[in-house]
Structure 1
Amino acid sequence: MAFFKKMSMHVAIDFYRKEQTRKKIIDTDVTLTEIEQPLAPELTSPELAVAKTQREQIILKAIYQLPPCCQDIFILAQLYHFSQQQISNQLNISRGMVARHLARAYRDLLPVLLAESHG
């Protein structure tokens, strides 16, 4: 179970990074330098590393706060790219329950990810 929790943290972090990159690419006023350095340029490498670690810990904490079933379903969907039907079959629950658990996971994690992207 610890493996799944650690992996879900990485999935959330990857999602956050991809979303940040996507937003910056869509914005036509963004330069390549801004994409390569999404954090304030005045920060040094050690400061960037600390900021990254802090963001990861906040995201991991949010994932740990999900109910266990939500965590499992989130991991299967995000890490292993299972469809809702595959998750339903794997966990022997209805597809509707899978959808509800995923919706809750996304609802609970999205504010954390958005806050981290603006903070």
Structure 2
Amino acid sequence: MEHYYRELVSFLCTRLGSRQAAEDVAHDAYLRVLERTDSQHIEHPRAFLYRTALNLVVDRHRRNRVRQTEQLDGLEVDASCSGQELQQAFQLDQRLTLMQRALGELSPVCRDSFLLRKLDGLSHQQIAEQLSISRSLVEKHIVNAMKHCRVRMREWES
């Protein structure tokens, strides 16, 4: 299924107008498809991948539309944190610790590919040049890192 990656990114790029946004959606789509293939067989993987990606594009568009219409002056700012907010912050901190642990299990080049993409926002080509590896290897490392982290997070959280 990895051989559809470039085709999917090109397809998404025309809809989103940004290669980086297209790559992000493609990564998320691959993750969802890979998660599903762990538990059940997909009869038409290419069609399923494209449908998943298009659904993600629609979700992204809806989120952006909501953000644009939200009035900042209508939002109430409360200086005090509620117990629920503190609990959420604690859970987020725990998840971050688990994510760091999962990333520590990856090979250095796999981890670096993932972090350069997700934290630094570098393109696949820029990462390939920086790490002196091929662009397709960068793509594989990022997908593998995302899948590994998702699987490990599920294992540890359950």
Q: TM-score, normalised by structure 2?
A: 0.41
- 1:109 matched to which residue of 2? 149
**Does the 8 Å contact 2:127/2:138 carry over to 1?**
yes
Total equivalences in the alignment: 81
Confirm or deny that 1:96 pairs with 2:136. Answer: yes
User: For residues 83-116 of structure 1, what are the alpha-carbon distances to aligned partners after superposition, in whole Å with 9 as ceiling and x for unaligned?
Assistant: 1111111111111111111111111122355x49
CA distance in 1, matches of 2:147, 2:117: 15
CA distance in 1, matches of 2:116, 2:90: 29
2:102 to 56, 62, 75: 62
- 2:40 matched to which residue of 1? none
**Does the 8 Å contact 2:109/2:131 carry over to 1?**
no
Confirm or deny that 1:53 pairs with 2:93. Answer: yes
Q: TM-score, normalised by structure 1?
A: 0.53
CA distance in 2, matches of 1:96, 1:45: 41
User: Which has more radius of gyration?
Assistant: 2
CA distance in 1, matches of 2:96, 2:118: 16
Identify if the C-alpha distance between structure 1 residues 49 and 79 changes in structure 2 by more than 3 Å, giving closer, same or farther.
Answer: closer
**Amino acid aligned to 1:99:** E
Identify if the C-alpha distance between structure 1 residues 97 and 54 changes in structure 2 by more than 3 Å, giving closer, same or farther.
Answer: same
Instruction: Provide structure 2 residue ranges, at least 5 long, that are not aligned to the other structure.
Output: 1-58, 64-81
CA RMSD of superposed structures (Å): 3.3
- The CA deviation at 1:73 is 0.5
